Chains A and B, each alone.
Chain A
Amino acid sequence: MTAASAPLIRARASRDDLIMRAGLALFALFLLVVVALPLWALLSKSFQDHNGNFVGLANYLRYVETPALFQSFWNSLFVAIVVTAIVVPLAFIYAYALTRSCMRFKAVFQGLALIPILAPSLLPAISLIYLFGNQGLLKGWLFGQPVYGATGIITAQVFYCFPHALMILVTALSMADQRLYESADALGASRLRKFLTVTLPGAKYGLISTSFVIFTLVITDFGIAKVVGGRFNVLATDIYKQVIGQQNFEMGAVVGVVLLVPALLSFAVDRIVARRQVAQLSARAVPFEPKPRQSRDLALTLFCAAIGLAILGVFAVSVWASFITFWPYNLTLTLKNYAFGNFDPLGWGVYWNSLKMAAASAILGTIAVFLGAYLVEKSKGFHVGRNFVHLLAMIPLAVPGLVLGLSYIFFFNMKGNPLGFLYGTMAILVVNTVAHFYTVSHLTAVTALKQLDAEFEAVSASLKVPVWRTFFRVTVPICLPAILDVAIYFFVNAMTTVSAVIFLYSSETKLASLAIVNMDESGFTAGAAGMATVIVVTSAAVKLAQLGLSRLLSRTQAWRKR
């Protein structure tokens, strides 16, 4: 019964297969160039001396032996842990209110909570200085503690991280099975018991995942520590100080590698958790419908109102500050802080740069991400290539922006790199931004593609229709909402990002978010607040346009109705 004599068959690839494999190979190359090779350049730089000789661990030894630098490591860890411990419970209650109560104005509260995402992280930090600085409005609230340092960093990070935590937890909490609660009711479980035995376990993975995401966000963000850090140094500001302040690239590379470690760890844990989560909810689950309960709903409304107002307040302070003539001695309102030409050689040019960069990132990034995800999901065979591209696409999530930006300096300035001409151009900012925010977009696209019938391509092949035709005629139209999501994600992040591009801009390609850093540094805080306001307004407008467009899509495209 052996098949020894039956001929082995090597499947002949169709033209479509060949096109898609070539596409995958091209994509692997693209991701190698924009992600993997730069990181490799960073890593090797950390083992070199100033003249490029290999010096083994010498730089690392110097790092550990420099107390000021090593202290930052512990500072970063401390801040990240405290912020995580504060944000996760707050966001959990807020998410609980949004998903599990009959609180009114849920849409308003949800919208309020998302404001910080539309702003660069520097905005809450700037607001904090106006609120709690040495001349702050509410200085007394800190009982004489200076806001500069850990206090300020933690407070601003809580504001900045809140919506990120909220989004994950809302998703986690909305996946609840009504039947579990009904069973618990039938068994006479108390509310507390239901919460402890049904609600919390159900959200367990969401909570773990949130904790790691927040931890990474805090440890890798640099805008906040830069503005309110004072003498409290953290890893992110160390890289910056080493590289930009002192042009000590080797030490910058070392700090970059050190910064990569906690980020990679939390990424790994998050992936493991995500894998476990898959089979959480059975297809037969009945969606949870909250029942009104006055005392709970009122309490949660008050809680959300408090948080929502705090967020609005922090945002409003920056807006207000941007109209102040001379803080704190002359509080008359003025528009002159919006004459950015007084604070930056490019003036409003930085804003147009940002718009250009964001639009280019959104368009090119979305095309790249969606094509890449399509190739990974839908090409046949060639498992090695598909897995490789998928793996590469996951890396950026674990790489802090500063580290990626620094890697780009090394990689694109390497002797003999044919891509060196990109250095200092707008193109490198676009490429870097696309790479920086690649993973989340990739996952969004993959999720959307997975929801398509797996046999569309098989049907097309049987009908002798080339794969690209089905791609444009069927796949793209169906995935349009997800494509829009990805584009807006790129756009908003490109508008607000600071960490990666701060190493890569030239005087002509300076972005609005970077101008905020510069203005704040040279003491033009009101101008910085003004620019932050302009960015928030722009992001918000784009976000609203997206909402409108999605609504239009579901209204005009009859087939989207179920």
Chain B
Amino acid sequence: MKHSRLWLPLAAAAALFAFTADALAQKTRITVYTALENDQLGPYKAAFEADNPTIEIAWVRDSTGVMTARLVAEKDNPRADVIWGLSASSVVLFENMGMLTGYTPKGADGIKPVFKDSKNPAMWTGMDAYLSVVCFNTTEGGKAKIDAPKSWKDLTKPAYKGHIVMPNPASSGTGYLTIAAWLQVMGEAEGWKYMDALHENVAVYTHSGSAPCVQAARGERLIGIGFDMRGASEKTKGAPIDLILPSEGAGWEMEASAIVKGTKNLDAAQKLIDWTVSRKANELYGKYYAIVAMPGINAAPPNYPAGAEAAMVKNDLGWMAKERDRILAEWTKRYDGKSAPR
């Protein structure tokens, strides 16, 4: 009784923290950092947990750039157990910084060689590849009497001035792979010159890689350079857009998985990595991506343009990882003034 007043602040403090720990987990809870699209997270989690009932996935999701920066920032005190669905160039960057634990998953033999790290044990494994494409709104194009572009080069034509939106490579993985492809295909000098010209036509650089094709889909802009899958899904929803694979070839990136060094749930993490290369997982990827790691999977999301695999440019993921900082610094210096707020 005498101390009853002491309990008041204590109770308040307890109330404050109660809901931070409201789920007393009996399951192993693993923290998975990802840049996958939101609509994929639910199905992936459900399917994995159905096969591994003792493990629970806690997603931490943001755009590729943010996730990458965050993982780097947390290098000394990692909070993630597993990376699942982050661009391979970022994952290679982590490998170079010694942030990953190698593990060759059971069933790694079943996936295409390009989708796995050649080292043993493998530091990472790929899931799928995605491209940066041009989304063109045919309705608005018809109204404005502007023809669809066929190549990257076309986009610098004066007719497109103010009609193009593309992602900011500093924050968007799609943005980075797009410019990395230009620089690799055209060569550095030509590539920057091309971007200088393109910059004149760009209305805004968005924070995320999905936004440009969405804006094109809504007719808010005529042309969006961006994440292929989002363009396809918008088209499925009824957007009057065409997905164009430019004639010079399309930049691409792979999404990869890896185990973060220092995880306290290594066992569960390895189970997850095993699952990410399974047939079931690949069939799931195939619903969202045209190109997946396992051969022979029917990967045909609706409204996806044909010939995507052929249009992929020759891409050096190692180079992308190594040169990332330098290229982004240069890009920021040249064009950042037009970035969308975020």
Interface residues in A297-331 (C-beta closer than 8 Å to B): 325-330
Q: List 5 A-B contacts (CB under 8 A).
A: A230-B204, A247-B70, A425-B17, A522-B38, A523-B213
From B171, B203, B211, B220, contact of A245 by CB (8 A):
B171
Find out whether the CB atom of A329 lies under 8 angstroms from the CB atom of B238.
yes
- How many chain B residues sit at the interface, stated as a range, is 35 or more
Residues of chain B within 8 A of A133, CB atoms compared: 220
The reply to whether B341 and A345 form a contact with Cβ atoms under 8 Å apart is no
Q: A241-B341, A246-B69, A360-B15 are in contact. Are A329 and B219 (CB under 8 A)?
A: yes
Cβ-defined contact, A233 with B337, below 8 A:
yes
| Stretch from A336-344, A539-547, A552-560 contacting the other chain | A336-344
Q: How far is the CB of B75 from chain A (nearest CB, A)?
A: 12
Chain B residues 202 to 235 lying within 8 A of chain A, measured CB to CB, are: 203-204, 206-208, 210-211, 213-215, 217-221, 230, 234
Q: Is B86 an interface residue (CB 8 A)?
A: no
B189-213 residues at the A interface, CB under 8 angstroms: 203-204, 206-208, 210-211, 213
**CB neighbours of B342 from chain A (8 A):** 226, 237, 240-241, 244-245, 521
Tell me which residues across on chain B come within 8 A of A524, comparing CB atoms.
214
Contact with B along A340-371 (1 / 0, CB 8 A): 01111100000000001000100110010000
Q: Which of B41, B65, B170, B238 contacts A330 (CB 8 A)?
A: B238
Residues on the A chain within 8 Å of B234, using CB: 523
Cross-chain contact A247 with B69 (CB below 8 angstroms): yes
Q: Min CB distance, B80 to chain A, in Å?
A: 11
B73 close to chain A: CB less than 8 A? yes
Bound together, the chains give a CA A437 to CA B210 distance in angstroms of: 35
CB distance from A350 to the nearest CB of B (A): 12
In the complex, whether B338 has a CB less than 8 A from a CB of chain A is: yes
> Is residue B336 contacting chain A, with contact meaning CB distance below 8 A?
yes
- Decide if B139 is an interface residue (CB 8 Å cutoff): yes
* Cβ-based interface call for A10 (8 A): no
Q: Does B239 contact A (CB under 8 A)?
A: yes
- Chain A residues near B303 (CB-CB < 8 A): none
CA distance A329 to B66 in the complex (A): 33
Give bound CA distance, A222 to B73, whole Å.
25
Which chain A residues lie closer than 8 Å to B215 at the CB level? 523
Which of chain A's residues 209-235 have a Cβ closer than 8 Å to chain B?
A: 222, 225-226, 229-231, 233-234
Bound form: Cα–Cα A247–B221 in Å: 28
B residues in contact with A522, CB < 8 Å: 38, 208, 210-211, 214
Q: Is the CB of B19 within 8 A of A135?
A: no
The answer on a CB contact under 8 Å between B171 and A364 is no
A134 within 8 A of B: yes
- Indicate if the CB atoms of B41 and A360 lie closer than 8 Å: no
B306 sits at the interface (CB 8 A):
no
Q: Decide if B12 touches A523 in the complex (CB within 8 Å).
A: no
Is A145 positioned at the interface, with any CB of B under 8 Å from its CB?
no
Within B117-176, which residues are at the interface with A (CB < 8 Å)?
Answer: 139, 168, 170-171
In angstroms, Cα B63 to Cα A521, docked, is: 10
A294 on interface, CB distance cutoff 8 Å: no
**How far apart are the CA atoms of A522 and B170 in the complex, in Å?**
16
Residue-by-residue, is B65-105 near A (CB-CB < 8 Å gives 1, otherwise 0)? 11001101100000100000000000000000000000000
Given contacts A222-B341, A237-B341, 13 further A-B contacts (CB under 8 A): A148-B204, A231-B203, A231-B337, A241-B342, A244-B66, A245-B170, A329-B238, A342-B38, A344-B38, A364-B16, A367-B12, A521-B208, A523-B230
Name B42's contact: one of A134, A341, A430, A521 (CB within 8 Å).
A341
Whole-angstrom CA separation of A507 from B58 in the bound complex: 8
Decide if B218 touches A525 in the complex (CB within 8 Å): yes
Contact pick for B337, options A68, A230, A367, CB 8 Å: A68
Q: Which of B39, B208, B211, B220 contacts A134 (CB 8 A)?
A: B220
State whether the Cβ of B288 lies closer than 8 Å to any Cβ in chain A: no
Interface string of A112-156 (1 = CB under 8 A from B): 000000000000000001000111000000000000100000000
Contact, CB under 8 Å: A246 / B15: no
Chain A residues whose CB sits within 8 angstroms of the CB of B340 once the complex forms? 229-231
Asked if B339 is at the interface (CB within 8 A of a chain A CB), the reply is yes
Interface residues of A (CB under 8 A from B): 67-68, 71, 129, 133-135, 148, 222, 225-226, 229-231, 233-234, 237-238, 240-241, 244-247, 325-330, 341-345, 356, 360, 363-364, 367, 424-427, 430, 468, 506-508, 521-525
B 36-74 to A, binary, CB cutoff 8 A, 1 in contact else 0:
001101100000000000000011110001100110110
Judge if B332 is at the interface, Cβ distance under 8 Å: yes
| Residues on the B chain within 8 Å of A245, using CB | 65-66, 168, 170-171, 207, 339, 342
Q: How far is the CA of A521 from the CA of B207 in the complex (A)?
A: 7
Partner of A329, one of B12, B168, B221, B239: B239
Inter-chain contact B237/A326, CB cutoff 8 Å: yes
CB neighbours of A226 from chain B (8 A): 341-342
Closest-by-CB residue of A relative to B211 is: A523
B26 CB–A CB distance under 8 Å:
no
Q: Report the minimum CB–CB distance from A40 to chain B (whole Å).
A: 21
Q: Which residues of A contact B79 (CB under 8 A)?
A: 424
The chain B residue with its CB closest to the CB of A238 is B341
Tell me, in angstroms, the Cα distance from A162 to B239 when the chains sit together. Answer: 36
Q: B residues within 8 A CB of A430?
A: 16
- The complex places the Cα of A71 from the Cα of B337 at a distance, in Å, of 9
In the complex, chain B residues whose CB is within 8 Å of the CB of A231: 203-204, 337-340
State whether B219 touches A135 (Cβ < 8 A). Answer: yes
Residues in B neighbouring A233, C-beta threshold 8 A: 337, 339, 341
Closest to B8 in A: A367
* Nearest-CB residue, chain B, relative to A347: B42
Q: Is the CB of A326 within 8 A of B238?
A: yes
8 Å CB contact of B139 from A67, A229, A327, A329: A329
Q: How far is the CA of A367 from the CA of B8 in the complex (A)?
A: 11
Contacts of B59 in A (CB 8 A): 345, 507
Considering only residues 225-272 of chain B, those with a C-beta below 8 Å from chain A are: 230, 234, 237-240
| Residue among A233, A234, A327, A523 facing the most chain B CB atoms (10 A cut-off) | A523
